[in-house]
Chains A and B, each alone.
Chain A
Amino acid sequence: MARALHRLSPFNVTALALGLAFLYLPIVILVIYSFNASRLVTVWGGWSTRWYGEFFNDRAMLEAAWMSLKVGVASATAATLLGTLAAVALSRGGAFRGRTLFSGMLYAPLVMPEVITGLSLLLLFVGLNAERGFFTVAIAHTTLTMCFVTSVVQSRLGTLDRSLEEAAMDLGCDPLRAFAAVTLPLILPSVAAGWMLAFTLSLDDLVIASFTTGPGSATLPIRIYSEVRLGVKPEINAICTMIIGTIALVIVSASLASKLSGVRGETAAPL
């Protein structure tokens, strides 16, 4: 009798199934239509991969994709370095001066409307007379994605057994050695997960990149956005499917990596 209270009811199952279907159906439809042979997006003309070919002949699109990849790798790497340092400071550094302001600044970009972050960074770059392009977008994306890395790494540090680090220190390691020899290997899977999350977020960002980029260095979302505004095109379906495929590959390898490194119970959960 009492057990029935926390068993699944038909209502629970329905809600769960409908919720997941709602999340996935549009993406599945998009992928299917990317293989549509017909030029009219909505008329099914049989299976074809011609729109994938179109993409590889579209120079502007290819250049934008290359730009996005460069920005993604650069900003994810910088964000992972800085974000991991921040996570270590927050969970192992005790109460240092300005800690509240630090964590406040660090986590604000997570919810801050992108138009505000984008505009303010642009005005900074203009004020500093910086030439806008690859570097400004990479800096902007580092600022945006750092908090996601910190969040992932910090939650791992929180579950870590502190006595391991304390033992290393008791055995004569200085803090730096203890960190390098004990902490770092243990948090490495979440550092990697943080990098991948930062990379996919950078690959995805439209608003902040639009503000901080300069002429001639559009990223992939900026190109896609300007095409989408003109209407649905089969080629865009193909590009979107390839982006989804890339991201799926990243996620699968991330979860495989964390399985292989023997960390159980820790998925690459970003939130």
Chain B
Amino acid sequence: MSARRIFGRPAGLAALAPYLWMLLFFLVPFGFVVKISLSQVAIAQPPYTPVFDLSAGWPALRAAFEALSLENFRLLVTDSLYVLSYLRSIVVALVSTALLVALGYPVAYGMARLPRRWQATAMMLVIVPFWTSFLIRIYAWINILQHDGLLNQTLLALHIIPQPLVWLSTDSAMYLGIVYSYLPFMILPLYATLAKIDPALLEAAGDLGASRTQTFWLITFPLSLPGVGAGVVLCFIPIVGEFVIPDLLAGSDNMMIGQTLWLEFFINKDWPLASAAAVMLLMLLLAPLLIYQRLQRREL
């Protein structure tokens, strides 16, 4: 972190506007989530009874604190529907992240070994899908995976399967969608560390008699572990809270926590319960988020 002061105080002042913006629109809203997660659902607009009103003064505030309700949280940890969706989110995120490492590593490794003048192009090719719409890329897979879609047509034409298989609304489709969407997030940090490895180290290993495989496992892989860590955190956190991919590609009998939150909010209009689910999700992600912050700070 080489934060040398060049412009001094004026540059510090430049932080003021974005600082206030992020305080107001990122940090303060979490206070609202916590507040509403402690209140009760009501049939009204907005659909909850406010817990406390700062304008009503101190006695009202105390009364309100006594009436705080942990009911939503009790429901979340006792009802199997919610417990299961938490567990499923974690399992899905773990499995997808493992798949991403397994698939992303060879690609990043291949990129890092390209001749230097091709590397920028390869990196651009990996980044471009990240710029194209996320929703569209999931939709593209629906085109392919549906009952009479391209995949079934191809497999039938090649006589690999006797009749069309069900691909959509399965967990395999969901994993495919997640891996497809998050692959650039895994490849880029991996490539960044792999490209930085000094070729002299590999040559030295070779001169000392190591084979290609030995060199990889003894030199390259250990040196690339920071990149693996960055990729894992960068993928794991958003996948846990993923909504669109499981909603469009997986079946509806098992839900991830992002879907449960969405359902409670948009369909059941239970804002307090949705807020409580968000608080729980945030607590689950606290440790990975702190790791992410540390990585971020080291890179700056």
Chain B binding surface, main DSSP class: helix
Cβ of A19 under 8 Å from chain B: yes
Q: Once the chains bind, are A105 and B237 in contact (CB under 8 Å)?
A: no
1/0 per residue, CB under 8 A from A, across B133-151: the answer is 1111101111110101110
Residue from B22, B123, B184 having most chain A Cβ neighbours under 10 A: B22
Cβ of B124 under 8 Å from chain A: yes
1/0 per residue, CB under 8 A from A, across B12-39: the answer is 1111011101110111111011001000
Given A113-B238, A116-B278, A146:B143 Cβ within 8 A: no
Q: Once the chains bind, are A29 and B135 in contact (CB under 8 Å)?
A: no
Q: Once the chains bind, are A90 and B281 in contact (CB under 8 Å)?
A: no
Q: Once bound together, how far apart are the Cα atoms of A74 and B125, in whole Å?
A: 28
Given A111-B292, A247-B133, A119:B107 Cβ within 8 A: no
Cβ of A214 under 8 Å from chain B: no
Q: Once the chains bind, are A5 and B202 in contact (CB under 8 Å)?
A: yes
Q: Once the chains bind, are B113 and A12 in contact (CB under 8 Å)?
A: yes
Q: Once the chains bind, are B11 and A92 in contact (CB under 8 Å)?
A: yes
Residues facing B in A75-116 (CB within 8 A) are 81-83, 85-86, 88-96, 98-100, 102-109, 111-116
Cβ of A270 under 8 Å from chain B: yes
Q: Once bound together, how far apart are the Cα atoms of A269 and B125, in whole Å?
A: 11
Cβ of A171 under 8 Å from chain B: no
Least CB distance, B250 to chain A, in whole angstroms: 13
Least CB distance, A176 to chain B, in whole angstroms: 6
Given A6-B113, A115-B261, A232-B143, A82:B242 Cβ within 8 A: no
Q: Once the chains bind, are A267 and B205 in contact (CB under 8 Å)?
A: no
Given A15-B107, A94-B3, A124-B25, A29:B143 Cβ within 8 A: yes
Q: Once bound together, how far apart are the Cα atoms of A225 and B132, in whole Å?
A: 16
Residues facing B in A110-143 (CB within 8 A) are 111-117, 119-121, 123-124, 126-127, 139-140, 142-143
Cβ of A145 under 8 Å from chain B: no
12 residue pairs of the A-B complex, CB under 8 angstroms, read A5-B215, A30-B136, A89-B18, A92-B4, A103-B296, A111-B234, A113-B285, A123-B33, A224-B136, A228-B139, A236-B139, A269-B124
Would you list the 8 A-B pairs with minimal beta carbon distance, nearest first? A113-B241, A94-B5, A19-B107, A89-B15, A120-B29, A15-B106, A16-B110, A93-B11
- Known: A23-B126, A119-B278; 18 extra A-B contacts, CB below 8 A, are A3-B203, A5-B202, A8-B113, A23-B184, A29-B150, A89-B11, A89-B14, A90-B15, A92-B11, A102-B19, A113-B237, A115-B261, A116-B281, A123-B271, A175-B7, A224-B136, A228-B248, A232-B146
